[in-house]
Amino acid sequence: MFSLANKTIVVTGAGSGIGKAVALLLAEQGATIIVTDIDKQSAAITENEIIHNGGTATFLTFNVANQQEVVETFSQIDTIDVLVTCAGISNIGNAENTSEADFDKVFNVNVKGTYNCIHAAIPIMKRNGGGLIITISSVAAKVGLQDRFAYSMSKGAVHSMTLSVAKDYIKDNIRCNTVSPARIHTPFVDGFLSKNYAGREEEMFDKLSKSQPIGRMGQPNEVAAMIAYLCSDQASFLTGSDYAVDGGFITLNT
């Protein structure tokens, strides 16, 4: 079950964090992975890891926020069975102290970046008889998180885009689902703690972990496992749905 053999899958933001875990796991399941990231070195490292483990991959670099770059890069790809849009950034702040520049940056990467990749992938999928798009939203799209104003805005938009794409392209055999993680232990979390809570990293890590009812942060490979299932033929009846990987955060905290 869940074999991804003969599928070509584009993973954005695959140089680190959730995107990298997704690319590695999908490759293990037999998919050919097109690793994409704005950081060429990180993309190359992920590609090399996949190949070293016996998988098939190639990497492409572009800025998801730049539509011309995205369209030109996607024009080099003949087939896309699945697009997984993991590229994204976070931001700390509320409606008062979030600067216009920070708001625009989050919007451009998380919202426009997701749109740009979907916009470029759909014509390829239509030409090849269909496909699947998986976006990455967040629990922040559904519950209030303190000091996550711009980030929450962006993930709410991603969730709405997913529903729209699922509705508009169902007759083209293109499905679209979203995955909504809670706090996942990635390098971003460690960087955030060292920057904002120097000397108190362990204390704050424990506090953030316990904010999830399950009592810990998720791991990138746990998000990747959900995505692997959604990419498989066994999930072919699913579209327009959101899948929380959140340790009970949404339902048990409200």
Give the tokens for residue 250.
């949404």
Instruction: Measure the CA angle with vertex 216, ends 53 and 249; round to 5°.
Output: 110
- Number of residues assigned to the chain: 254
DSSP one-letter string for 33-93: EEEEES-HHHHHHHHHHHHHTT-EEEEEE--TT-HHHHHHHHTT-S--SEEEE-------B
Concerning whether 151 is annotated as a catalytic residue, the answer is: yes
Catalytic-labelled residue, pool 151, 169, 197, 229 = 151
User: Would you please indicate which residues are annotated as catalytic (active-site) residues?
Assistant: 151
